[in-house]
Structure 1
């Protein structure tokens, strides 16, 4: 009959350490674990106390200083991520607004030039100038086009979703 090693699964306690805690040798403890040998009564009493402590740990007790320190580090890191995310959102939003503004300016310029080019009274010299202006507007529209705007919109939405996840995790960490 094989016995379950509670301590090895729930705690980082080696066979050597357990044997030392119970004042038995390692082979005695190892054979007890696999059900081939019994322990002395005083070792059984110590084992019962250790099992009671292990059970109490599983039921949840006061947090240790180390746990509180680790949770503090998590909260610090989450707050840093939230702040970094906020800066990235602002930067992405500004870039998106700039790209949208330049695109719409170029689009209005292109429409304006199209209207002027239809005027028969414009000289060839002015037609060449209008063509150059039209090319500049088209290039600007391409560099700041709807596909580029979509890319920034997706980045912004991703950052906003990440922010929600970080805040949710921070709230969960605060309530724990």
Structure 2
């Protein structure tokens, strides 16, 4: 599927909310049980973008949003500031069409430019397609947490994958350096 990637904005949130709703109700990528309402998705979007993290959407040839991705803090303690977690969600018709791969590649590019050194994927349900798209982008297996979520009547495993960005761990950051999202 040919898609166009661009920054997400507030007007995109109804479509983003619907994509996430479908994923929560029918998938295992998110361990949420009840889909959050639009207002909660607005709050989440505002928090992520206010911190300067990238949040992007993929649109099809009709300019309809078919997927979205964002990076966010993995943890809030200061030593984690060089590490981001990626999140990617697709509309059902966009799955297995290269949209997730395009979103991930763009997210990697943007996070590298912002100065982050590592990206982690926390893959709910050990979803094979998500594992495959991350592997194709160079992520390495970082671990398996068994039976970490209970959804749709069964236990779900979580796969952790990791990708070095830029110089990764080959050098220490400058003592006063911060990723661009933290230079405010």
Fold conserved between structures, TM > 0.5: no
* TM-score, reference length from structure 1: 0.20
Q: Which has the higher strand share?
A: 2
Q: Which has the higher helix share?
A: 1
* TM-score, reference length from structure 2: 0.19
